[in-house]
Structure 1
Amino acid sequence: MRSKFTHVFSPIKIRGIDFKNRIVLAPPSPNLASTDGLVTPEFVDWFRMFARGGVCTLYVGNCSIDITECKDEAFQLDLSDDRCIFPLTLYADMGKQYGCHASFEINHNGENTAFETVGHPPYSSSPNISSSEATRAATLGRDPIPAIEMTHKKIAQTVEKYADAAARMKRAGMDICLVHGGHGNLISQFTSPLYNHRTDKYGGSTENRASFAIEVCDAIRRKVGEDFVIEFRISADEIAEEGMHFEETLELIGLLKDHIDILHVSAGLHSDFNMKYYRNWCQNYMMDRCFNVHFARDVKKAYPDLLVTTVGSITSIEYAEEIIANGWADFVAMCRPLMADPDMPRKYAENRPEDRRPCLRCDTCVKHLFIPKPIYCAVNPISGMTSELRDGVVPKVPVKKKVAVIGGGPAGIQAIQTLLDRGHDVTLYEKSSSLGGNVEGAAILPFKVDCQDYLKWLKHTAAQCEAAGAKILFNTDATQDILDTENYDAIIIAVGSDPIIPSSIPGIDKKHVHWAPDAEADKNLVGDKIVIVGAGAVGIEAAIEFHDEGKNVTIIEMEDPEKSFFKLMESSGTSAMEFQTILKDKGIPIKYFNRLKEICDDKVICDNLETGKTATYEADTVLLAMGMRSRTDKVEELRHCAPETNVYIVGDCQKVGTIGTAVNQAFQAALHI
Structure 2
Amino acid sequence: MSTNYPNVFQSIRIRGVDFKNRIEMAPPSPNRADKDGRVCREFVDWFRPMAKGGAATIHVGNSVIDSSESSDEERQLDMGNDGAILPLSTFVEMCESYGCQASLEINHCGRDTNPSRIGRPAISASSMVTPMENMRAAMEGREPIPTEEMSHEKIKETVDKYAMAAYRCKKAGMKISMIHGGHGNLISQFASRLYNKRTDEYGGSLENRARFCIEVLDAVREKVGENFVIEFRISADEIHPDGMHFEETLQFIDIIKDKIDILHVSAGLHGDFAYFRNWWQNAMMDRMYNVHYAEKIKKRFPDLLVATVGSIMSIKDAEEIIATGKADFVAMCRPLIADPDMPRKYALGQEEDHRPCIRCQYCGMRLTKPRVIGCAVNPYSANIDAYPDGKVPLAEQKKKVAVIGGGPGGIQAAITLRERGHDVTLYEKGNRLGGNVIGAAAPSFKIDMKDYLDYLVLQANKSGATILLNTEATKELLDQENFDAMVVAVGADPFVPKVNGVDKPHVHWAPDADVGLVEVGNKSVIVGGGAIGIETAIGLKEEGKEVEIVEMAPDFNHLAQNSSGTMQDLLEKIDTLKIPVHLNCRLMEVKDDEVICVDTKSQEQISLPADTVLLAAGMVPRHAMVDDLRQSVPATEVYIVGDAVDVATIAEAVNGAFKAAAQI
Structure 1 and Structure 2 fold alike (TM over 0.5): yes
Aligned residues of 1:79 and 1:165 also touching (Cα < 8 A):
yes
Q: Aligned to 1:492, what secondary structure does the other structure show?
A: strand
Aligned residues of 1:65 and 1:78 also touching (Cα < 8 A):
yes
Aligned residues of 1:128 and 1:147 also touching (Cα < 8 A):
yes
Q: Are 1:566 and 2:561 an aligned pair?
A: no
**Alignment match, 2:577:** 586
541-550 vs 374-383, which deviates more? 541-550
Residue by residue, what CA displacement relative to the aligned partner does 1:277-329 show, whole Å, maximum 9, x if unpaired? 01100010011100000000000000011001100000111000000000101
Q: How does 1:250-269 map to 2 (within 5 A)?
A: 250-269=250-269
395-404 vs 552-561, which deviates more? 552-561
Aligned residues of 1:569 and 1:575 also touching (Cα < 8 A):
no
Shift of 1:528: 3.0
* In structure 1, C-alpha distance between the alignment counterparts of 2:139 and 2:412, rounded to whole Å: 42
* In structure 2, C-alpha distance between the alignment counterparts of 1:37 and 1:112, rounded to whole Å: 18
Residue by residue, what CA displacement relative to the aligned partner does 1:590-625 show, whole Å, maximum 9, x if unpaired? 322211111122322223222233333232322110
Q: Aligned to 2:547, what secondary structure does the other structure show?
A: strand
Shift of 1:171: 0.5
Shift of 1:523: 8.9
Residue by residue, what CA displacement relative to the aligned partner does 1:404-439 show, whole Å, maximum 9, x if unpaired? 111111111111111111111111111122111111
**Alignment match, 2:56:** 56
318-327 vs 616-625, which deviates more? 616-625
Shift of 1:568: 5.5
381-390 vs 293-302, which deviates more? 381-390
Aligned residues of 1:2 and 1:350 also touching (Cα < 8 A):
no
Q: Specify whether residues 193 and 611 from structure 1 end up closer, same or farther in structure 2 by C-alpha distance, changes over 3 A only.
A: same
Q: Aligned to 1:315, what secondary structure does the other structure show?
A: coil
Q: Which amino acid aligns with 1:233?
A: R
* In structure 2, C-alpha distance between the alignment counterparts of 1:139 and 1:433, rounded to whole Å: 49
Aligned residues of 1:307 and 1:330 also touching (Cα < 8 A):
yes
626-635 vs 375-384, which deviates more? 626-635
- Given candidates 461, 466, 476, the residue that maps to 2:471 is 476
Q: Aligned to 2:463, what secondary structure does the other structure show?
A: helix
Shift of 1:521: 2.4
Q: Which amino acid aligns with 2:103?
A: S
- Given candidates 283, 287, 290, the residue that maps to 2:288 is 290
Q: Specify whether residues 138 and 414 from structure 1 end up closer, same or farther in structure 2 by C-alpha distance, changes over 3 A only.
A: closer
**Alignment match, 1:369:** 367
Residue by residue, what CA displacement relative to the aligned partner does 1:77-126 show, whole Å, maximum 9, x if unpaired? 11111111111111111111111112110111111112222122111111
Q: Specify whether residues 143 and 474 from structure 1 end up closer, same or farther in structure 2 by C-alpha distance, changes over 3 A only.
A: closer
* In structure 1, C-alpha distance between the alignment counterparts of 2:572 and 2:166, rounded to whole Å: 41
**Alignment match, 1:4:** 4
| Percent sequence identity over aligned pairs | 57
**Alignment match, 1:485:** 480
Q: Which amino acid aligns with 1:287?
A: M
**Alignment match, 1:614:** 605
Q: Aligned to 1:381, what secondary structure does the other structure show?
A: coil
**Alignment match, 1:540:** 534
- TM-score, normalising length: structure 1: 0.96
**Alignment match, 1:447:** 445
* In structure 2, C-alpha distance between the alignment counterparts of 1:493 and 1:387, rounded to whole Å: 26
Q: Specify whether residues 343 and 474 from structure 1 end up closer, same or farther in structure 2 by C-alpha distance, changes over 3 A only.
A: same
Q: Are 1:511 and 2:505 an aligned pair?
A: yes
Shift of 1:491: 1.0
Shift of 1:633: 2.3
Q: Aligned to 1:482, what secondary structure does the other structure show?
A: helix
538-547 vs 448-457, which deviates more? 538-547
- Given candidates 630, 652, 660, the residue that maps to 2:643 is 652
Shift of 1:9: 0.7
* In structure 1, C-alpha distance between the alignment counterparts of 2:191 and 2:580, rounded to whole Å: 41
Q: Which amino acid aligns with 1:623?
A: L
Aligned residues of 1:532 and 1:623 also touching (Cα < 8 A):
yes
Shift of 1:529: 2.8
Q: Aligned to 1:582, what secondary structure does the other structure show?
A: helix
Q: How does 1:423-434 map to 2 (within 5 A)?
A: 423-434=421-432
* In structure 1, C-alpha distance between the alignment counterparts of 2:96 and 2:59, rounded to whole Å: 14
**Alignment match, 2:15:** 15
Shift of 1:136: 3.0
Q: Specify whether residues 126 and 545 from structure 1 end up closer, same or farther in structure 2 by C-alpha distance, changes over 3 A only.
A: same
Shift of 1:530: 2.3
Q: Aligned to 1:583, what secondary structure does the other structure show?
A: helix
Aligned residues of 1:565 and 1:576 also touching (Cα < 8 A):
no
Shift of 1:379: 0.5
**Alignment match, 1:597:** 588
| Aligned-pair Cα RMSD in Å | 1.5
* In structure 2, C-alpha distance between the alignment counterparts of 1:415 and 1:2, rounded to whole Å: 36
Q: How does 1:21-170 map to 2 (within 5 A)?
A: 21-170=21-170
Shift of 1:485: 1.1
Aligned residues of 2:193 and 2:244 also touching (Cα < 8 A):
yes
* In structure 1, C-alpha distance between the alignment counterparts of 2:151 and 2:37, rounded to whole Å: 27
Q: Aligned to 2:222, what secondary structure does the other structure show?
A: helix
Q: Specify whether residues 122 and 438 from structure 1 end up closer, same or farther in structure 2 by C-alpha distance, changes over 3 A only.
A: same
Q: Are 1:527 and 2:525 an aligned pair?
A: no
Aligned residues of 1:595 and 1:606 also touching (Cα < 8 A):
yes
**Alignment match, 2:408:** 410
Aligned residues of 1:536 and 1:568 also touching (Cα < 8 A):
no
Aligned residues of 1:416 and 1:465 also touching (Cα < 8 A):
yes
* In structure 1, C-alpha distance between the alignment counterparts of 2:233 and 2:593, rounded to whole Å: 56
Q: Aligned to 1:310, what secondary structure does the other structure show?
A: strand
Shift of 1:3: 2.7
* In structure 1, C-alpha distance between the alignment counterparts of 2:384 and 2:2, rounded to whole Å: 30
* In structure 2, C-alpha distance between the alignment counterparts of 1:489 and 1:522, rounded to whole Å: 38
* In structure 2, C-alpha distance between the alignment counterparts of 1:653 and 1:565, rounded to whole Å: 27
- Given candidates 379, 387, 396, the residue that maps to 1:381 is 379
Shift of 1:526: 2.5
Residue by residue, what CA displacement relative to the aligned partner does 1:1-34 show, whole Å, maximum 9, x if unpaired? 4432111110000000000111111111111112
The number of aligned residues is 664
**Alignment match, 1:219:** 219
* In structure 2, C-alpha distance between the alignment counterparts of 1:247 and 1:219, rounded to whole Å: 27
Shift of 1:460: 0.8
* In structure 2, C-alpha distance between the alignment counterparts of 1:329 and 1:587, rounded to whole Å: 38
Aligned residues of 1:265 and 1:296 also touching (Cα < 8 A):
yes
Q: Aligned to 1:277, what secondary structure does the other structure show?
A: helix
Residue by residue, what CA displacement relative to the aligned partner does 1:354-382 show, whole Å, maximum 9, x if unpaired? 10001110011111110111111010011
Q: Are 1:330 and 2:331 an aligned pair?
A: no
Q: Aligned to 1:249, what secondary structure does the other structure show?
A: helix
Aligned residues of 1:184 and 1:270 also touching (Cα < 8 A):
yes
- Given candidates 549, 556, 569, the residue that maps to 2:550 is 556
Q: Give the unaligned 5+ runs of structure 2.
A: none
Q: Aligned to 2:595, what secondary structure does the other structure show?
A: strand
Q: Specify whether residues 137 and 672 from structure 1 end up closer, same or farther in structure 2 by C-alpha distance, changes over 3 A only.
A: closer
* In structure 1, C-alpha distance between the alignment counterparts of 2:228 and 2:473, rounded to whole Å: 61
Aligned residues of 1:11 and 1:18 also touching (Cα < 8 A):
yes
* In structure 2, C-alpha distance between the alignment counterparts of 1:633 and 1:143, rounded to whole Å: 50
Q: Which amino acid aligns with 1:554?
A: E
Aligned residues of 2:512 and 2:518 also touching (Cα < 8 A):
no
* In structure 1, C-alpha distance between the alignment counterparts of 2:533 and 2:561, rounded to whole Å: 14
Shift of 1:140: 3.8
Aligned residues of 2:10 and 2:22 also touching (Cα < 8 A):
yes
